[in-house]
Structure 1
């Protein structure tokens, strides 16, 4: 992994990108930390035109490596997603969360699989790529396999790739290293998020290197599988999220990049 492949998802700083001025200031702070790429997420579409978002990022030397777009837009209006990605100048997006999907219901999950495959084909025909971002609920099992494995097996590798999240894989009861290996050739994006335990036996999201995950093994497996972007995410931070993002970046730079 090279330092220029390390990005962050703006969902971590979502409270600081709700106006154009805040977005500009935040991108400057991110660049000053040392990040060279961002995944755009957590920012309503009406805050700034996509072309202006792209311009601000370019001014700060930040590549837009990917986005998260609204789940229903991806499933029902993939043509709008194509237009937005083209305006942002990025190739990848991720389906962020199956909010209306019941994995215990065969009809619900089959509909999702069909819609994802179709949406991915629309993006593919435009030279773009749809990926799937998991949480823990994708490890609900049916027919002896977690939902995420069914998604992998029942969608076309041409139409759907994946953006696994290390924290949620671990909370789902699995080893992120194993899933990086399973997704060989279908994992251009990886969310880096560390897992710790707070007093009271509850899991907590940590800065990279400050929790319990073996990131050296995770990165090695991801590289072997062809990962292009390593994206830092921390949904909740103990204080200023920019401080947490700096801790993660500094640890990655000192310990994980080659």
Structure 2
């Protein structure tokens, strides 16, 4: 029997990692109550998170609340400009929360991402990544779709990967933001192997036409397995690449309904 990804099913679970979530998914929920939101996350069986400090609660208290619920904050986000200026605050927050990874989700740029911006990003990532590594933390740049501008025999994303030091800079694949501009997430995972450390699990509504903007209406985020991305192929390639942590990121207004569907889907996949 063949699965959606065209692989023979062995009966063994394809997805065997803990289920994680990106805190941004719950951006409408946090202001209404941090502890209540953490209870909801725990009720989904989620045990890992990517996020960082939250407004309305000290970072030390947040760590206590996470520990109480058996949730580990494996990765925190950092603003590109703040991190380029100083790593101190990021390192402090990562240590308090027990995070091993710091991810940057956006490189500020003019309307079109260009080579000059990519060169500056390489320089900033190499410098910040070195300091983070000296503090036991891995820097990951998160794909956002605008980096796939054609360049040389590939794209500006290829340029960033090839020119950042693998010792100091790794990557987080957001599979929607790789698929949206027309790239193949499974192929890109295979191409760069262990440069990838983290993943955002996301699916794109069927029939959506993508581009290089790095933006799409949030209603185009759908539960995994109901969209246009070949999730089994991605997870198979991710396993081979050695992805360490997976975070569901659902930006849609229906995230509370969609997350259980996503979790049931990935847990039900067979190799």
| TM-score normalized with structure 2 length | 0.85
> Structure 1 59/108 Cα, relative in aligned 2: closer, same or farther at 3 Å?
same
Q: Give the drift of 1:105.
A: 4.1
1:24 aligns with 2:38: no
- What 5-or-longer segments of structure 2 have no aligned partner? 1-13, 211-215
> Structure 1 101/79 Cα, relative in aligned 2: closer, same or farther at 3 Å?
farther
155, 161, 168: which one pairs with 1:152?
161
Report the more deviating stretch, 54-63 or 203-212: 203-212
CA distance in 1, matches of 2:209, 2:112: 27
CA distance in 2, matches of 1:228, 1:187: 9
Please list the CA deviations of residues 197-221 of structure 1 after superposition, one character each: whole Å capped at 9, or x if unmatched.
36x8687221111112111111111
- Paired residues of 1:35 and 1:249 also in contact (CA < 8 A): no
Give the aligned partner of residue 13 of structure 1. Answer: 26
Give the aligned partner of residue 254 of structure 1. Answer: 268
Partner SS for 1:139? coil
Please list the CA deviations of residues 129-183 of structure 1 after superposition, one character each: whole Å capped at 9, or x if unmatched.
1000011101112223212111100000011100011111111211100111122
> Structure 1 3/60 Cα, relative in aligned 2: closer, same or farther at 3 Å?
farther
> Structure 1 90/254 Cα, relative in aligned 2: closer, same or farther at 3 Å?
same
- Paired residues of 2:15 and 2:269 also in contact (CA < 8 A): no
CA distance in 1, matches of 2:65, 2:171: 27
216, 225, 230: which one pairs with 2:232?
216
Q: Give the drift of 1:5.
A: 2.5
- What 5-or-longer segments of structure 1 have no aligned partner? none
1:36 aligns with 2:52: no
1:196 aligns with 2:196: no
CA distance in 2, matches of 1:25, 1:161: 33
Give the aligned partner of residue 178 of structure 1. Answer: 187
Please list the CA deviations of residues 74-97 of structure 1 after superposition, one character each: whole Å capped at 9, or x if unmatched.
221112211110011110111111
Q: Give the drift of 1:18.
A: 2.7
Partner SS for 2:28? helix
Relative to its length, the structure with more helix (as a share) is 1
CA distance in 1, matches of 2:57, 2:150: 40
- Paired residues of 1:103 and 1:109 also in contact (CA < 8 A): no
Q: Give the drift of 1:104.
A: 4.8
Give the aligned partner of residue 8 of structure 2. Answer: none
Q: Give the drift of 1:3.
A: 4.6
Partner SS for 1:138? coil
More RCO (CA 8 Å, sep 6+): 2
CA distance in 1, matches of 2:250, 2:172: 15
> Structure 1 7/102 Cα, relative in aligned 2: closer, same or farther at 3 Å?
same
> Structure 1 218/152 Cα, relative in aligned 2: closer, same or farther at 3 Å?
same
1:245 aligns with 2:259: yes
CA distance in 1, matches of 2:205, 2:113: 29
CA distance in 2, matches of 1:248, 1:11: 16
